[in-house]
Structure 1
């Protein structure tokens, strides 16, 4: 009997390790879907403390410093997400009970979809309408990229989104002084001209956490 129990235990441990290896080896989309499915289970007991919604900049960051307990941080951010996509992320987070949000976005609309300012205005207003009425949180303004020629357009959408977010009661964080110089991303703050270096990602999370602390949300 003891030998049988030991064998069963060994098989269970092996299967768990195998399952973990399959998840680790799978692509990011599968890992994301698995993580969100776990969150849906947990939200039956308690809502996430924070929801991270946005594009690849938020997706590449390690948000564990915000956690007090497992599943405190719901990460729905996804590479390539536009403002419309991020609005859908907010709806999904609402369904899981999220009330505090960290939001980034706008660069994909501007750089890859060539969206005019009027379209960004429309889509960001729609994004804000999807927040719960009692939502709190932080908007992380879009950082400059390596191409300084893009800086005026990035500054333009940031000014627009700042005004709308603050009117909605959200805090706003602008890391441009730390991440860029003369409208261009500092070399040590990017790996490819657009995405964050590990140092930049750490600064991004630290700035969000400090603002949440200042507002009594952490």
Structure 2
């Protein structure tokens, strides 16, 4: 017996929902790829509640506390991302309808690319211009690393990024008091001097969520 069009559509939708459910409990990369693939095929998905854009610090965090329903959180953050890369992540997120962002970045530019402050200023301004006009969200300032000698440069970058973000209407969160002491990351807050320990990652997400709640965005 030949299946009717309605039956075929029902089976397709069922399989799609089943695949989505499996990916909900899978890794973030699979969920991201699945959502992007659906978007590019023209599927009418509910826009993500939050887009997480940034580098490895954001990528290693568990953002599920922000989620109310599956696919509420769109994670585009990637290890090694520079400010230019994060700007591209924002473009991808806004194509999917994202209007609320959690943003981090800058350490790769500063520490690994040895970018001067003028370059960081230029690239961060360009990043902000890629946000939707009605965008809201939180900028997570770059944390200190284990090497206290880097603190003055990180602080200088953070002052610049804070001023630009606040002028754009974004909230700013600085976790330096919790994560570092005398300009150096606390030993319990890092596994390698740069990245987060599980405790630091938890505090990072909690601080972002609390600020979103305060601003009526969660």
Report the TM-score, using the length of structure 1 for normalisation.
0.85
**Change beyond 3 A, Cα 1:201–1:7:** same
* Higher mean C-alpha deviation, range 106-115 or range 2-11: 2-11
Conserved? CA contact 2:190–2:200, under 8 Å:
yes
Tell me the secondary structure at the aligned position of residue 42 of structure 1: coil
Conserved? CA contact 1:141–1:158, under 8 Å:
yes
Report the TM-score, using the length of structure 2 for normalisation.
0.85
Q: Distance in 2 between matches of 1:4 and 1:171?
A: 53
Conserved? CA contact 2:47–2:97, under 8 Å:
yes
Q: How many residues align?
A: 218
- 5+ residue gaps in structure 2? none
Q: Distance in 2 between matches of 1:169 and 1:43?
A: 31
* Higher mean C-alpha deviation, range 121-130 or range 24-33: 24-33
**Change beyond 3 A, Cα 1:6–1:191:** farther
Conserved? CA contact 2:24–2:70, under 8 Å:
no
- 5+ residue gaps in structure 1? none
Cα drift, residue 21 of structure 1: 14
Conserved? CA contact 2:28–2:75, under 8 Å:
no
Cα drift, residue 77 of structure 1: 0.2
Conserved? CA contact 1:47–1:98, under 8 Å:
yes
Tell me the secondary structure at the aligned position of residue 158 of structure 2: helix
Tell me the secondary structure at the aligned position of residue 157 of structure 1: helix
Tell me the secondary structure at the aligned position of residue 139 of structure 2: strand
Tell me the secondary structure at the aligned position of residue 156 of structure 1: helix
Conserved? CA contact 1:39–1:71, under 8 Å:
no
Conserved? CA contact 1:39–1:74, under 8 Å:
no
Superposed counterparts of 1:3-42, under 5 Å: 32-34=32-34, 36-37=36-37
**Change beyond 3 A, Cα 1:203–1:184:** same
